[in-house]
Amino acid sequence: MEHVLGYVALAAGLIIGLGANGACIGIGIMGSKYLESAARQPELMNELQTKMFLLAGLIDAAFLIGVGLAMMFTFANPFVLK
């Protein structure tokens, strides 16, 4: 049973860590592309900004879903038989 709890803790750490890493890289690339496109066409900055914030929320939501799954496996573990 202790092995299962150890593996679940390791998996939860990987889910949260890799999800945060991916979200940070994705938002960083998206922000740089937004600044690039706003510098090229300043008249489209308001439309681009709206789309950028929408996508930032979706990227963040995908990470938070991963955090929720990791917490579910940590606190309500379906793999531990009591």
What domains can be seen in the chain, in order of their start residue?
16-73 (1.20.20.10)
In one-letter notation, the amino acid at residue 56 is: A
pLDDT band at 82 (very low <50, low <70, confident <90, very high): low
Give the active site residue among 41, 60, 64, 71.
60
With beta carbons less than 8 A apart as the criterion, state whether 12 and 71 touch.
Answer: yes
Q: Is pLDDT of 5 > 90?
A: no
Average pLDDT, the chain: 92
Q: Write down the pTM of the prediction.
A: 0.79
Rounded CA-CA distance 31/16 in Å is 22
Residue 5 among the catalytic residues: no
User: 6-34: per-residue pLDDT in tens?
Assistant: 898 999 999 999 999 999 999 999 999 99
The tokens for 59 are 């990227």
